[in-house]
Structure 1
């Protein structure tokens, strides 16, 4: 479906398949708009049908123009700061970026400027867009690859729900120490904080559910390491790093979790991000090329995974 931005307004033509919904059904039940946001839409008259205030409980009619005021200017929430970033996908609702190593996804302090969120804010500002960037998920400071941001509160809420329902698929490449005997498998072990270390996490029976699926892509007997592909059902902090350390195969370069220091950081890259666009229903698949092509990932073609 085609959507259009006109000033502060989002516009979409009601398709035939939505005619079983009332406007209230569509936003509350199908799009799962948060209650507070839906109340704001109604009270502040931010939703129109063909330019007129709607009957929220009347069935929608195919061909009618739905208009929602989504793009009202707002504070960026972070300090816009220039960084050389690679955008993998962008439209009026969201964008996907290729995060470099050595950069946090978002600030931990209000004065932080060396984060992907700061870079996104600068990109929006430079293009005359006054919207707050909202990260949908995070990557560790030294993990590289695809990260998804929403530009509006509604897009953020819908993408957050999709992430919770596992409708956003994230594929990672990692190199672990040693040779894995199983060609594929699932690690289902809860992860919690390590009370002896302020940053590290650990497998803990009282932790949060954490599920990692993996597949062996290549074993290197000479280097005694294994290239693996991972998919996550959950997104716990340091999940891949913790899980593989726990089974005796820490990531190469991951000194925090027992890996060797032959590489300057953990060998982990978010190679691909896939999801169905919440508004257009277009399937989006983003490949994140290696920014600096680290030697440890040599001869790997991102588009192959």
Structure 2
């Protein structure tokens, strides 16, 4: 949306001021509004069709209202636990996921998932909101997780994810001294038929690209920044193991657990365009204590 177009949440409705909308030939003001919403705002056609059929679009003078915030109850049982909010507005939520917590339940979890904790956030606030996660992190990877707080945001952010427009960068401690010439790993990743939890490099797998930047070198390990161009399961872990530098603590892919009991991998930054304003949002997630302690140990 153009920054000159004002918007404001009013209860279940988003109020916009697009200015005077000229109806097309043989069309009315609603037709003009739908054209503006699609072509200027970039609203998903599927959602516009649903809003139109349900009476979710209203015109009053130069104001246009969309019913984007109907109450929606979360499917996840609330579980109260400390939660670090990194960014939040009416459309988006970004929270820190600690290592050892799954993004959502899968029937085999030992403790509540991040979805349960996020559900409790809105339960405590008495807000009937059901955020949907846009991407995932491995159970033992820490970092920011992006949620959409309504259907409009979910459709827009899912589209952005599919177009690889949501940026994600990570920091990791890996074993061995990484050559600074290693900058890109472009290897397809598929399932390992011999190990349910593992993935592997496979010529029949899905295209996967990881960019590598060496930040620090230690006697027997390296600190690297990793940027994903694709989002395959265990992508960073598989790629770094494939080039001979498994993540410290990643026993599944050949890493030693002598200093840390799980992979030393943290999502440090998440970047995305806001689904309404189009503004670029950059969210930085500080290192958790386990990564800081490991850093000090390797430096020492």
Please state which band the TM-score falls in when normalised by the shorter chain: 0.7 to 0.9
Counterpart for residue 257 of structure 1: 253
1:8 to 6, 12, 16: 12
251-260 or 117-126, larger mean C-alpha shift: 117-126
Structure 2 CA distance for aligned equivalents of residues 45 and 140 of structure 1: 41
Counterpart for residue 69 of structure 2: 71
Distance change in 2, residues 1:260/1:281 (3 Å)? same
1:97 to 85, 95, 98: 95
Counterpart for residue 281 of structure 1: 278
CA-to-partner distance for each residue in 1:85-113, whole Å, 9 max, x for gaps? 10000011111011111100111139986
Q: Does 1:227 align with 2:223?
A: yes
Q: Secondary structure at the match of 1:85?
A: coil
Q: Secondary structure at the match of 2:277?
A: coil
Structure 1 unmatched runs, 5+:
52-63, 301-305
1:47 to 34, 51, 57: 57
Counterpart for residue 56 of structure 1: none
Deviation of residue 178 (structure 1)?
A: 0.7
Distance change in 2, residues 1:298/1:87 (3 Å)? farther
Q: Secondary structure at the match of 2:183?
A: strand
Q: Does 1:38 align with 2:48?
A: yes
Q: Secondary structure at the match of 1:124?
A: helix
Structure 1 CA distance for aligned equivalents of residues 128 and 107 of structure 2: 21
Counterpart for residue 142 of structure 1: 140
Are the equivalent residues in 2 in contact too, given 1:93–1:155 (CA < 8 A)? yes
Are the equivalent residues in 1 in contact too, given 2:170–2:225 (CA < 8 A)? yes
Q: Does 1:292 align with 2:289?
A: yes
Deviation of residue 253 (structure 1)?
A: 0.3
TM-score (norm 2): 0.87
Counterpart for residue 242 of structure 2: 246
Structure 2 CA distance for aligned equivalents of residues 184 and 250 of structure 1: 14
Q: Does 1:193 align with 2:197?
A: no
Structure 2 unmatched runs, 5+:
25-30
Deviation of residue 229 (structure 1)?
A: 0.5
TM-score (norm 1): 0.86
Deviation of residue 23 (structure 1)?
A: 3.6
Distance change in 2, residues 1:49/1:113 (3 Å)? farther
Are the equivalent residues in 1 in contact too, given 2:102–2:114 (CA < 8 A)? yes
Deviation of residue 273 (structure 1)?
A: 0.8
RMSD between aligned residues: 2.7
Task: Work out the number of aligned pairs and report it.
Answer: 285
Match runs of 1:117-196 below 5 Å = 117-196=115-194
Counterpart for residue 57 of structure 1: none
Counterpart for residue 28 of structure 2: none
Structure 2 CA distance for aligned equivalents of residues 197 and 293 of structure 1: 28
Q: Secondary structure at the match of 2:238?
A: helix
Structure 2 CA distance for aligned equivalents of residues 194 and 121 of structure 1: 34
Deviation of residue 34 (structure 1)?
A: 5.3
Q: Does 1:266 align with 2:263?
A: yes
283-292 or 121-130, larger mean C-alpha shift: 283-292
